[in-house]
Structure 1
Amino acid sequence: MIATPQPTQRSQSKSGGGHDRPDWLKPDELARLSSIELRARGVVEGFLQGLHRSPFIGYSVEFSSHRRYGPGDDLRHVNWKLFARQRKLYVKEFDAETNLNLYLFVDASRSMQCKVEGAMTKHEYAATLAAAFAALAIKQRDAVGLGLFDDGVRQYLDPSAKPGRWEDCLSLLSTRPESNVTALSKSLEQAAALARHRGVVVILSDLVDGDVEGIKKGLQQLRHRGHEVIVFHLLDPFERYLAESGRYRVLDMEGPAELTTNMESIRADYLKKIEHWCDQLDEACLHQGVDRIELTTDQPPTAALVDYLVKRAT
């Protein structure tokens, strides 16, 4: 599940993904940004053409209520007149704030660079979906936050609905942080700490981590903070179903292991083990009230997004 197979008969192909561009973007990062932007725009346009209305909650700026000031709250929303009377800090809440905070956490570990039979690497697929989700939320003027993780959350943007937020997301998605091994338990724990205000947390990952109990505990922390959690489980078709025949050299993308084997001799046992693993993940998510959506990277991102959001809206 964390390996890149290389057929002995052929070589494996690999691929690396606007508006005002940051000056610090290097040419290869700019190319990746443009690629992600084009794919995400195509997904969003296809989604909007396929639906009469977006399932995201609409935006309103009507005053809703007051709540006590907390670290990280915007000082512009402090009710200073109320402070003058009660000597306590309260912030104004608007319907727009209580509608949706969207937190996107994208796996950037080495295993996400796998591409064998998929249309793109798992990371490219995750980045495309994340950018599309961000674009849809921003169209509704909802706040979007974004984090990249491997053995921890490496880079993070706090939720914002300000102009230019989509471009910020694209720039972050185009970068390549230190792609270490996957540590989902630690990453989910850090995500729970970063996602301070209740909202929707979307995890895009191949979930390559032997610690299923750790994943369960990480999801539990997110749910304990009141978040709705959605997990997009992304796999290359080859690692999900394996080839029926052929001799392949298999490389571990998060370690030094290497194996040359015939698919016929291992496929039946492999499929049993991966089904068991997916069942364990399903049980862990179900126990926490989390949606797990399994996708392979040969599925069109537009169809995957439409299918899920239609179900979410009904």
Structure 2
Amino acid sequence: MAGTLHPNDLVDPAFFSRLDDIELRAQAVVEGFLHGLHRSPFVGFSVEFNSHREYVPGDDLRHVNWKLYARQQRLYVKEYDAETNMNVYIMLDISQSMECANTGQSKFQYGAALAAAIAHLALKQHDAVGITLFSDRVVSHLRPSAKPHQLQEILHVITSTPERSQSDVGRAFHQAAELAPHRGMIVLISDLFDDVSTIMEGIEHLQFKNHEVVLFHVLDRWERDLPLDGNVRFTDMETGEEITAQADGIREQYLQHVNDWLSELAQGCLNRGVQRVELTTDEPLDKALLDYFVKRAKAQ
């Protein structure tokens, strides 16, 4: 099958090393009080010590630092930062349109590397991460876990991709919402080749489950900008239909349609508070990710 990957194709230690200091932080409060890097507004539910403050009447005497009292003859209580373990649900589009590979690597290969990088980041900070593959429906699902070999299991799911079918993004999102019962972060990786209203309905279902949704919109540079001249044969990756046209003769109208579509997607995401990141497969993935997380950190 075209586009088949080996796990070693997804794991680039040099690439991952450049991402080691990035924290993948959720904007919403997430459930759980285990180890992680996501600060919760709740205090007192964690074993992670933060600081001392002076005792005031009504404080729980169990939190008094009696050793400090013995030295200073004043009562201080220990304060703790509650820390949360985030569930990260990665959803990767494996529909036939993701096989488009005009610039050397397919959208699927690019998205798979992105999924592996995000999984690496989440697991590095002790979050639970899982993977869902979808096309016209959910075709594979690995529930989130923070166990030591979870990255290898995620890579196995990606590289064992079943035969691709046509897109039905909205339907797949509705199914995926039922597979993500615990509040967390949904990371969507797709070319979004579907009706925009249907996509937004699926996203709303995910948000109804109290998830934060981040959308990585992956496109091929040729389909994004049509940087071609002369007679070109265009192939629909999902139906196999082919047409031939003069690229320079249709470029203006083509770009107008593409820009209208992207504007509709961008507005739909903005209206729903969804972060949308547009990527093309000719962009260095590490730079694209670094730029995104830097902007995300500044916004928090």
RMSD: 2.1
What SS does the corresponding residue of 1:202 show, helix, strand or coil? Answer: strand
Measure, in 1, the Cα distance between the counterparts of 2:146 and 2:24. 18
Measure, in 2, the Cα distance between the counterparts of 1:196 and 1:178. 27
Match of 1:37 in 2: 11
Matched, 1:64 2:38: no
Measure, in 2, the Cα distance between the counterparts of 1:184 and 1:287. 19
Measure, in 2, the Cα distance between the counterparts of 1:201 and 1:55. 12
> Which of 136, 150, 162 in structure 2 is aligned with 1:177?
162
* 1:260 Cα offset (Å): 1.1
Matched, 1:111 2:97: yes
Measure, in 2, the Cα distance between the counterparts of 1:156 and 1:63. 35
Match of 2:144 in 1: 159
What SS does the corresponding residue of 1:239 show, helix, strand or coil? Answer: helix
What SS does the corresponding residue of 1:187 show, helix, strand or coil? Answer: helix
Unaligned runs of 5+ in 1: 1-13, 18-31, 66-93
Contact 2:92 2:134 (8 Å CA) reproduced: yes
Unaligned runs of 5+ in 2: 27-34, 38-42, 47-80
* 1:246 Cα offset (Å): 2.0
Measure, in 2, the Cα distance between the counterparts of 1:146 and 1:63. 32
Mapping 1:85-100, distance limit 5 Å: 98-100=84-86
Question: Taking structure 2 as the reference length, what is the TM-score of the superposition?
Answer: 0.79
Measure, in 2, the Cα distance between the counterparts of 1:55 and 1:234. 20
* 1:191 Cα offset (Å): 1.3
Matched, 1:198 2:167: no
Contact 1:56 1:137 (8 Å CA) reproduced: no
Measure, in 1, the Cα distance between the counterparts of 2:222 and 2:14. 25
Measure, in 2, the Cα distance between the counterparts of 1:225 and 1:133. 21
Matched, 1:142 2:127: yes
Contact 1:113 1:121 (8 Å CA) reproduced: yes
Measure, in 2, the Cα distance between the counterparts of 1:193 and 1:95. 28
Match of 2:287 in 1: 303
Contact 2:85 2:126 (8 Å CA) reproduced: no
Matched, 1:265 2:249: yes
> Which of 231, 234, 237 in structure 1 is aligned with 2:221?
237
Measure, in 2, the Cα distance between the counterparts of 1:194 and 1:63. 31
Aligned residue identity for 1:172: V
Contact 2:85 2:128 (8 Å CA) reproduced: no
Match of 2:23 in 1: 54
Match of 2:117 in 1: 132
* 1:278 Cα offset (Å): 0.3
Measure, in 1, the Cα distance between the counterparts of 2:96 and 2:14. 27
Cα deviations by residue, 1:204-241 (Å, 9 ceiling, x for unpaired):
000011x2111111111111111110110000000000
Aligned residue identity for 2:88: L
Contact 2:129 2:144 (8 Å CA) reproduced: yes
Measure, in 2, the Cα distance between the counterparts of 1:95 and 1:192. 27
Question: Kindly, what percent of the aligned residue pairs are identical?
Answer: 40
Aligned residue identity for 2:36: Y
Matched, 1:215 2:187: no
Contact 1:137 1:143 (8 Å CA) reproduced: yes
Cα deviations by residue, 1:59-117 (Å, 9 ceiling, x for unpaired):
27x9839xxxxxxxxxxxxxxxxxxxxxxxxxxxx956x34111000000000010002
What SS does the corresponding residue of 1:47 show, helix, strand or coil? Answer: coil
Match of 1:73 in 2: none
* 1:311 Cα offset (Å): 1.3
* 1:55 Cα offset (Å): 4.5
Aligned residue pairs: how many? 251
> Larger radius of gyration, structure 1 or 2?
2
What SS does the corresponding residue of 2:142 show, helix, strand or coil? Answer: strand
Question: Taking structure 1 as the reference length, what is the TM-score of the superposition?
Answer: 0.75
Contact 1:234 1:294 (8 Å CA) reproduced: yes
Aligned residue identity for 2:250: I
* 1:264 Cα offset (Å): 1.0
